Chains A and B, each alone.
Chain A
Amino acid sequence: MHGWTGYFLRVDLTAKTWQKESFTEEFAHKWVGGRGFAVKILYDEVKPGIDPLGPENKFVVALGPISGIPSPNTGKAVVAAISPLTGFYGDGNLGTRVAEQLRKAGYDALIVEGRAERPTLLSIEDDKVEFLPADEVWGQGTYACNDWIYAKYGKGVGVLNIGQGGESMARYAVVRSLEGRAGGRPGIGAVMGSKRLKAVVVKGTKPIPQADPEAMKILGSGDLRKVGQIDKQSGWSIQSTTGVLPFCNEVAGLPVRNFRKTHHPDAWKVDGERCNNARVATYGCPTCTMRCGITIHDDEGRESELDYENVALLGPNLEIFGLPQVGALNYLCDDYGLDTMSAGCTLSFYADAIDHGAASGDFRFGDAKRAKELLGLAARREGPIGNLLADGSLRMARAFGHGSEAYAMQVKGLEVAAYNCKFIPGQALSFGVAPIGAHHREAWIITFEIKHSTRESYGPEKAAKVIELQRIRGGLFEFIVACRFPWIENGWPLENYPKYFNTVTGLNWGLDDMWRVADRIYAMIKLHYLRQFPDADRRGDYPPAIWFDPTNADTEGPITGKVLEMDKYDGMLQHYYDQRGYDRRGIPTKATLLSLGLAEEAAAAEKFAALT
């Protein structure tokens, strides 16, 4: 078997034991890596109904066959667990040297079980695994923890760590790495915290097995250079993702005031041009030649690395338009190890609930000072409001009542990313059917809808576009584990990715083979969902109710008087189910599961709920 090391590292924090486990070629070909490995491991090994914050949950770090090999842009890892935010499978990816180091240590995935007695630093160096005390950094933020590890091991090691948010098990705590990288929005950092796992450090010295290493060296390194040259020509990384903000503002797709408004005259104050003008440094992931991490000084002079989602949801969505203040909120989320998107949506929900009489409190839109304090309370679960904020917007809404769930901006418990779909039906569908909750990674079709003037349409072409993008974005890039930006932002051809895959594995796969793996993974995430929620129905795929509320329509601007229409949305959702081979609940049919080679997994699901 080439391309894969052929081994997982399984670590038990309770017993302080570890073992190296082999997997078969058949397994590798069926699940490939990254999200594919994680979804299968967690399905087979974690029983439905367990407490995601208990020792029965497992924390998985998974890589793909091109991870760690110089090529565009493979310095990323998938982190996954059963989510404490949504209750079922959750994952995310982040740029980290762990991608290279874990593969060089001889593993394609790390599976962490149990719960340590004391705060622990898990150290992996090839075949040596140590459980080291981390008491001295327990209670500290991710930056201090990172520095502590670098001081011990040097800067070349791979690091994953958590901040106070993960330690206190805030349900949207993330895993962090390098200076500004974060992943695992659905609380994967909280799962690390529940295991008292403060950090993982990895160093590897072995070669990564490849079918044709010389050919890959020429192909991968050459293509990395080409991607860098293309980026220089396009200029994408001058503003990186922050350039999206003025576009969303222009087309009435920006979240403002907890998504109640879609644009704002002051949005320019935090747009891509302002971010670039304020830049003091640029950071990126390993093996990247189009680095996107625009870093500014926040209002206390600290370096804060921005991207579009962070700025939009911690800025306009809270009606905060001072870039240094937005930078400070972003810095705090990063240091506490909280997801910036869920934090922004949860804070905006709280302000909105106070505005609408569903909650009492002293937080108002535009109050950056109080927002900072509230992030600290949430990260430490301090006091009743800190505890509520740490649970995310859906649980808060259920605690507040008064119909506030309608404007808790989430799907399946995961807060929506920074695209206001009040009148963008296809993007609303993207959020609705994103399998782990409202993540923007799975599909992003705003530009498609605007460019082709199909904003009014709820037709089957929208469902088809969502599926096409899911296969690429949530599928291919998540199971081979590479960054999607070279392709989506600089037009790097998709056909190159099977080339890399084939050169390292010796196989002869095309994109159609990749789409089949992607469909299998999506079906598996739905089985996770069904197993956890046997009474699940299509309402779980509905976006927030406020987007359908005519009283919430814009009163001026490009979409005056318009909101989504539920009967039409439901029809578009059915198109998606029909094209996917899912039933009316949004669950893959038995025939679909069998066609994807999931007979065994279907039988396991049937112990909990009926399939059609």
Chain B
Amino acid sequence: MNILVKIIGPLIYTVGFSEKQMDVPAGMTADELASLLGIPKERSRIMTRNGAAVAPDARLAEGDKVAVSPIYSGG
């Protein structure tokens, strides 16, 4: 399935891109996507799907926009 992946903040330099259309296996979970992107499990992060938080075990769907961001706490 095709999803749009947006990486935010310093995670860009871990993952290697800031935005990319990706073809991933159908039924992939948010956590599996994070692993595929090479983001270490211990790295705290927040993932959103189409602007709302997505649970680590939630299955992604065709056309989703998934963003991965560090846990920001304010400017």
Residues of A participating in the B interface, judged by any CB pair closer than 8 Å: 234-236, 238-239, 241, 243-244, 246-247, 250-252, 268, 272-273, 307-309, 417-418, 440, 444, 446-447, 450-453, 455, 473, 488-489, 491, 557-559
Contacting pair B71 A447 (CB below 8 A): yes
B9 to chain A: which residues have CB within 8 Å? Answer: 235-236, 238-239, 243-244, 246-247, 272
Contacting pair B50 A558 (CB below 8 A): yes
Residues of B participating in the A interface, judged by any CB pair closer than 8 Å: 6, 8-10, 12-14, 18-19, 44, 46, 48, 50-53, 67, 69-75
CA A307 to CA B74, docked complex, whole Å:
11
Given contacts A236-B10, A250-B69, contact A309 B75 (CB under 8 A): yes
The 7 closest A-B pairs by CB, nearest first: A558-B51, A235-B10, A444-B74, A243-B9, A488-B73, A241-B75, A308-B75
Interface of A is mostly: helix
Given contacts A268-B19, A418-B75, A447-B71, 14 further A-B contacts (CB under 8 A): A234-B10, A234-B70, A243-B70, A244-B75, A246-B9, A250-B6, A250-B48, A250-B51, A252-B51, A417-B75, A440-B75, A446-B74, A473-B74, A557-B51
B48 to chain A: which residues have CB within 8 Å? Answer: 250-251, 450
B52 to chain A: which residues have CB within 8 Å? Answer: 251, 450, 453, 455, 558
Which residue on B lies nearest to A560, using beta carbons?
A: B51
A453 to chain B: which residues have CB within 8 Å? Answer: 52-53
Contacting pair A444 B73 (CB below 8 A): yes
CA A273 to CA B19, docked complex, whole Å:
11
CA A244 to CA B8, docked complex, whole Å:
8
B67 to chain A: which residues have CB within 8 Å? Answer: 246-247, 250
- A274 CB to nearest chain B CB (Å): 10
CA A307 to CA B75, docked complex, whole Å:
7
Contacting pair A243 B46 (CB below 8 A): no
CA A518 to CA B28, docked complex, whole Å:
46
CA A340 to CA B70, docked complex, whole Å:
25
- A305 CB to nearest chain B CB (Å): 13
CA A239 to CA B74, docked complex, whole Å:
13
Contacting pair A447 B8 (CB below 8 A): no
CA A444 to CA B70, docked complex, whole Å:
15
Contacting pair B12 A273 (CB below 8 A): yes
- A233 CB to nearest chain B CB (Å): 10
- B36 CB to nearest chain A CB (Å): 20
CA A114 to CA B31, docked complex, whole Å:
62
Given contacts A235-B13, A252-B51, A453-B53, contact A489 B8 (CB under 8 A): no
Q: Which of B6, B12, B46 contacts A447 (CB 8 A)?
A: B46
B18 to chain A: which residues have CB within 8 Å? Answer: 273
Contacting pair A489 B10 (CB below 8 A): no
- A267 CB to nearest chain B CB (Å): 11
CA A559 to CA B9, docked complex, whole Å:
23
Q: Which of A243, A440, A444 contacts B10 (CB 8 A)?
A: A243
Contacting pair B8 A243 (CB below 8 A): yes
- A306 CB to nearest chain B CB (Å): 11
A252 to chain B: which residues have CB within 8 Å? Answer: 51
CA A310 to CA B6, docked complex, whole Å:
23
A558 to chain B: which residues have CB within 8 Å? Answer: 50-52
A452 to chain B: which residues have CB within 8 Å? Answer: 53
Which residue on B lies nearest to A441, using beta carbons?
A: B74
A444 to chain B: which residues have CB within 8 Å? Answer: 73-74
Q: Which of B13, B14, B19, B73 contacts A489 (CB 8 A)?
A: B73
Interface centre among A238, A251, A452, A488 (most CB of B within 10 A): A251
Contacting pair A244 B53 (CB below 8 A): no
Contacting pair A236 B70 (CB below 8 A): yes
Which residue on B lies nearest to A417, using beta carbons?
A: B75
